[in-house]
Structure 1
Amino acid sequence: MTGHPGETDEFAPADTPATARPVWAAFRSQVARTPDATALVIGGVSLTYRRLDHASAGLARLLWQHGLRPGRVVCVRTQQSALSVVALLAALRTGATWAVLEPDLPVDRFEALCRDVDCAVVLSEGGDAVPASVLAAMPTPPTVVDAAGLDLTRLVEAGRELLTDPYPPVPEQTPAYVAYTSGSTGVPKGVMVSRGQLAASISCRGPVYGTEHAVLLIALRLSFDGILGGMFWSLTGGHTLVLPDPRQLVQVAEFTRLAREHRITHLFNIPSYYRAVLQDPGGLPGTLRLVVVGGEACTPQLVGAHSERLPGTRIVNEYGPTETTIACTVETDPDPTRDRVPIGRPWPGAQTLVLDERLREVPAGERGELYVGGSLVALGYANQPSRTAERFVADPYGRPGGRLYRTGDIASVDEWGALHYHGRTDDQAKIRGTRIELGEIEAVLERHADVEQAVVLCERAGQDEPQIVAFVLPTPGSGPPDAAELRAHCRGRLMEQATPTLFVPVDHMPLDRSTKADRAALRTLVPTDRQASAGTPGGDWSGHRLAVGRIWADVLGHARSGPDDNFFAVGGSSIKVIDLHDRLDERWPEALRVGELFDCVTIAAQAQRIADRLGEPTQGDGHTAPATYEL
């Protein structure tokens, strides 16, 4: 609830883990009702409800033979595919727990998983996904199953032969999945969510998403827990779930083509990605009824652009940390004329309170820390009892034994009873839909031999997306570390969104009165003449590469980008992509579409694409980096 303890509102609690229908039972009922309806489309593969059920039965038997049991975990370390979705259903089927860690996620996430839980099986994609050296260091390493050796058709045939499931029933309090997020100490945290909490999150979505048959497209990766709400709402409601493969996800034009091909009715994506989707000239299909955004702040500008481009399509804004099971609040009618878009009101079964430091409710309009209670609060952090006790606290307003999750988010309640988000109380940030812990970046930087200490800030300029700035104190006797070397060091250990945009060397770290790093003083050290420094990129550049590099420098406000640097890792954002496109288009009309800039994300790639379109030589090294738009 929002407001004073004991009050109710239009989102009064309804389904709880005790009454929400179990997700697995709901899926099997749908299989019985519409066995020949299309359940899943991904990567050129289409599965009916019957075939999806049989595939999960076949894979469940295989994983069971390799030791998967209730209380144990299967780690899905594969690229997004039909098999990875089948693996989640197989885990539900056996009563076990899943954790999705795609191969491009840092290996320390996998190491943390194996420390925190009983990982029985890893569904792996190639030898690099699970390094042999990591397995050798474990006292009881999990069994690695090579996904390349699994044929989906054979899994369907194997599952068809099974008349009954031999797996024991498990209580709804059993963990359904573990989702890993950044940790302030540099150690990732595994959030455990029960089967009942997942069911409660799914059961309340019908009134917002609608009851008519839907074709739902989700622009997220399986490792991002935000995908699960729409995914299981679709699979338990008889709808068609469409997921992009990795290539379609990073290429906006391909993504919108996928939307038109399948005549989608529902779309879920994060706001920064949706900005690019709205810019794609191909456009979304006229069948679209609902757009759901979540994962980062939604702005009035985005809602206005949506309303202008798709006036007959509703847009909904969801909010919720991983610890509150996918999402805990929803704004069903955002107004683009207001100063900010609310995060809305709690889902049925959830409770929200804005409290001060003494856990007293603050008056409407005043800011405090947002606490979430009710049926969506996760079980806690795997193998981290002290962190669990710190963030999951006793509920002084609810039932005996109830808990509240301290979100660390600053919020207020407006005169209409809607919640508004005002930033973080700690050092977390959300960049392009991914939660980033600044302490994790500091810990990674301090592992570099030339860095004595690192302090990382998240800076926002105007309406632009936040940027990561790292202040680095060199080790005694060494000079300032090279920014390119530090960026390369971070790339091997952090996701792209967490790689600092700017590295600022300091000869000493300023301290405040409590002897902590003085962040206010550090902010004064951020260069203010970055636009003035924009000019000719360094190095032996020529031709299109030199011209594109100069445009990058103008857009980013600095000339420190290498030819293979990712635009989003050196200060780019979805807003700056539009500026970049306008400048490139002025120089080379219609040579590049705005959506392609989420594919060609380096100077070298853009110069090569322009040269190819114009039928001209690049007059320089035309090396093209792989497309990366991290979600």
Structure 2
Amino acid sequence: MTRHPGATDEFAPADAPAEVRPVWAAFRSQVVRAPEATALIIGGVSLTYRDLAHASAGLARLLWQHGLRPGRVVCIRTQQSALSVIAMLAALRTGATWAVLEPDLPVGRFEALCRDVDCAVVLSEGGDAVPASALSAMPAPPTVVDAADLPLTRLVEAGQELLTDPYPPVPEQSPAYVAYTSGSTGVPKGVLVSRGQFAESISCRGSVYGTERSVFLIALRLSFDGILGGMFWSLTDGHTLVLPDPRQLVQVAEFARLAREHRVTHLFNIPSYYRAVLQDPGGLPDTLRVVVVGGEAPTPQLVGAHNERLPGIRFVNEYGPTETTIACTVEIDPDPSRDRIPIGRPWPGTQTLVLDERLREVPAGERGELYVGGSLVALGYANQPARTAERFVADPYGRPGGRLYRTGDIASVDERGALHYHGRTDDQTKIRGARIELGEIESVLERHPGVEQAVVVCEPAGQDEPQVIAFVLPTPGSGPLDAAKLREHCRGRLMEQATPTLFVPVDHMPLDRSTKVDRAALRTLIPTDRQASGGTAGGDWSGHRRAVGRIWAEVLGHSDSTPDDNFFAVGGSSIKVIDLHDRLDERWPGALRVGELFDHITIAAQAQRIADRLGERAPGQEPAPPATYEL
């Protein structure tokens, strides 16, 4: 049976963690051991372990007064900040559950949370973060607490007055957090993870991350559960956690500067983001020891670039659906000469099986569906018993009562016993670390009044991230659909990664013999002419803008971009930036460096930069605004 235990080579995780400590108790032990050590740095705020403990005590008391209890949820709907981290610790302290849903995530996620769990309190940033319409539709709406009324100094002072915690102990089977992912039916799913599962996942990491004093910088948002491994390993093992604020997170150059400023030893990135970080001209600090990637598959080219630019720095590839508590397998220092980078071997306490459609073992080297068993398999989906029963199944090969999580990922095992990922069994993918469900995109598009039906496909783009393409059938009498308006409709309801990069209008949906939509036939309708002329969308196309727009169309495969569109918001990526630079450099040699394309991310800004370099800048013209890298 292909049940793969944790690997035992030099840098692999041990077969079992030496000790599994409850996360809150492990954090408290660090407060006692080194109270003045720096625990958290974010957004210009630096907190010691004592400060963080006091602030969490003060906030816990406030949340308790507003009805937070074990079994109830606090929704953290704030921008990434010290308060966000304090709120997570406060939930652990009280025995309650947290859910992080930043204000820019679709309001549907918040509505799903309040439908699926008992949400007692919402930490909010102003009225826009929690729409009044959403609250008014709830029979028992949660209490909304404005973050503006909670200055850190006040929370720290309030916590200093508390000598003991008045909260009752809770079992480790209680939920620690709920993490929302997209649903294939268009309905988001809340994954419930217990305190014990969370603690086991954290305790595994020391053998991979190391035991020396560390400074860990993570390029993720708090709503992505992938952040929790490095974050709570740091806070429970006495290290310093550095998190970018929202502005620093979306600017690669600023993120790299943050790494240098704080002399970080550990980085966690999504592979496509790390590719851009490696290209930053300022480089990374000589203190760096470990780079961890996760959220999507790294390419051999990325690992090769890492080895070339940072020789001797450990490269760690983590894999795991949210349903397996942050990550369930790990590969350390993979070989870039292989065709693909393995997802590795399981963490301690985890088992992986590669099975066929009849739940039989497949031979080594052959592909099957990956199932994950063991202690890291989450509790299930909040308020969705049918969906839970479908994905969390009985383990026919393990102990009585054991469960397997059916990942939906296609995998194989190589001659070394390492797992390899080969894509999805369903219509799901990851783009820049975010799980994308095609059904959710179709559901959103079909809520547009001009769309009768939408079918979405994800097309591979060589070594690049997949391209989301939407085929749209107009409602009768509505007239032609405008791609720019469809994209704007999606932006208010979907994460940026899920917004289609190309909209293909159709006059009917082709069907196959089973009367289902024939996706293969639809794929033949994807435009193959990448020499589309720039400037078909609205806006000012004067100067060099039209020529730059043509190059964008060649790189992106569509000509829907306006002069002021964000390159990354209309289908661009860190890999496509390289292609864009090569084409721009061929037309205007030396006018733009590749790093500048992360600082000038619109057609207008790039055209103006080219004009500046050629001495064509208009008098009084202001420079282009700084870049953003959308996550």
User: Judging changes above 3 Å, is the alpha-carbon distance between structure 1 residues 381 and 605 closer, same or farther for their aligned structure 2 residues?
Assistant: farther
String of CA shifts for 1:38-80, please: whole Å, max 9, x gaps: 1101111111111111111011111111111111100001111
Aligned to 2:124: 124
Alignment of 1:378-393 (within 5 A): 378-393=378-393
Q: Is the 8 A contact 1:451 1:472 kept in 2?
A: yes
User: Judging changes above 3 Å, is the alpha-carbon distance between structure 1 residues 60 and 33 closer, same or farther for their aligned structure 2 residues?
Assistant: same
Higher mean alpha-carbon deviation, 159-168 vs 617-626, is at: 617-626
Q: SS of the residue aligned with 1:388?
A: helix
- TM-superposed deviation, 1:184: 1.2
Alignment of 1:23-422 (within 5 A): 23-422=23-422
String of CA shifts for 1:177-230, please: whole Å, max 9, x gaps: 010000112111101111101001001111100001111100000000000000
* Structure-1-length-normalised TM-score: 0.95
Read off the aligned partner of 1:485 and give its amino acid letter.
K
Q: SS of the residue aligned with 1:75?
A: strand
Q: Is the 8 A contact 1:176 1:198 kept in 2?
A: yes
Aligned to 1:546: 546
Q: Is the 8 A contact 2:290 2:316 kept in 1?
A: yes
Q: Is the 8 A contact 1:454 1:471 kept in 2?
A: yes
- TM-superposed deviation, 1:550: 3.1
- TM-superposed deviation, 1:537: 4.3
Unaligned runs of 5+ in 2: none
Higher mean alpha-carbon deviation, 279-288 vs 513-522, is at: 513-522
Give the number of aligned pairs.
626
Between the aligned partners of 1:519 and 1:128, the Cα distance in structure 2 is 39
Q: Is the 8 A contact 2:535 2:541 kept in 1?
A: no
Alignment of 1:579-594 (within 5 A): 579-584=579-584, 594=594
User: Judging changes above 3 Å, is the alpha-carbon distance between structure 1 residues 546 and 113 closer, same or farther for their aligned structure 2 residues?
Assistant: same
Q: SS of the residue aligned with 2:263?
A: coil
Q: Is the 8 A contact 2:2 2:354 kept in 1?
A: no
String of CA shifts for 1:348-391, please: whole Å, max 9, x gaps: 01110000001011000000000001011001111111100000
Between the aligned partners of 2:352 and 2:382, the Cα distance in structure 1 is 24
Aligned to 2:532: 533
Read off the aligned partner of 2:101 and give its amino acid letter.
L
Between the aligned partners of 1:184 and 1:623, the Cα distance in structure 2 is 43
String of CA shifts for 1:465-489, please: whole Å, max 9, x gaps: 1100101111123333111111111
1:4 aligned to which of 2, 5, 8: 2
Q: SS of the residue aligned with 2:415?
A: coil
Aligned to 1:442: 442
String of CA shifts for 1:535-589, please: whole Å, max 9, x gaps: 4545541024334323322322332211232312322121111222344456667
User: Judging changes above 3 Å, is the alpha-carbon distance between structure 1 residues 485 and 618 closer, same or farther for their aligned structure 2 residues?
Assistant: farther
Read off the aligned partner of 1:14 and give its amino acid letter.
A
- TM-superposed deviation, 1:534: 3.6
Q: SS of the residue aligned with 1:435?
A: strand
Between the aligned partners of 2:421 and 2:302, the Cα distance in structure 1 is 16
Q: SS of the residue aligned with 2:422?
A: strand
Aligned to 1:473: 473
Between the aligned partners of 1:54 and 1:296, the Cα distance in structure 2 is 37
Between the aligned partners of 1:102 and 1:389, the Cα distance in structure 2 is 29
Between the aligned partners of 1:232 and 1:555, the Cα distance in structure 2 is 40
Between the aligned partners of 2:483 and 2:25, the Cα distance in structure 1 is 53
Between the aligned partners of 1:152 and 1:301, the Cα distance in structure 2 is 44
Between the aligned partners of 1:543 and 1:619, the Cα distance in structure 2 is 15
Read off the aligned partner of 1:103 and give its amino acid letter.
P
Between the aligned partners of 1:271 and 1:465, the Cα distance in structure 2 is 10
Q: Is the 8 A contact 1:354 1:362 kept in 2?
A: yes
Q: Is the 8 A contact 2:6 2:345 kept in 1?
A: no
Read off the aligned partner of 2:53 and give its amino acid letter.
D
- TM-superposed deviation, 1:122: 0.5
String of CA shifts for 1:100-132, please: whole Å, max 9, x gaps: 000111110000000000111110011111011
* Structure-2-length-normalised TM-score: 0.95
Q: SS of the residue aligned with 1:466?
A: strand
Q: Is the 8 A contact 1:253 1:596 kept in 2?
A: no
String of CA shifts for 1:216-271, please: whole Å, max 9, x gaps: 10000000000000000000000010111111111111111110011111111010
Q: Is the 8 A contact 1:184 1:438 kept in 2?
A: yes
Percentage of identical aligned residues: 86
Q: Is the 8 A contact 2:531 2:550 kept in 1?
A: no
String of CA shifts for 1:504-546, please: whole Å, max 9, x gaps: 11111111122111111111111111x1324454554102433
Between the aligned partners of 2:588 and 2:175, the Cα distance in structure 1 is 54
Higher mean alpha-carbon deviation, 86-95 vs 514-523, is at: 514-523
Between the aligned partners of 1:278 and 1:498, the Cα distance in structure 2 is 25
Q: Is the 8 A contact 1:315 1:334 kept in 2?
A: yes
Read off the aligned partner of 1:4 and give its amino acid letter.
T
Q: Is the 8 A contact 1:366 1:413 kept in 2?
A: yes
Aligned to 2:16: 14
Q: Is the 8 A contact 1:370 1:410 kept in 2?
A: yes
Read off the aligned partner of 1:267 and give its amino acid letter.
L
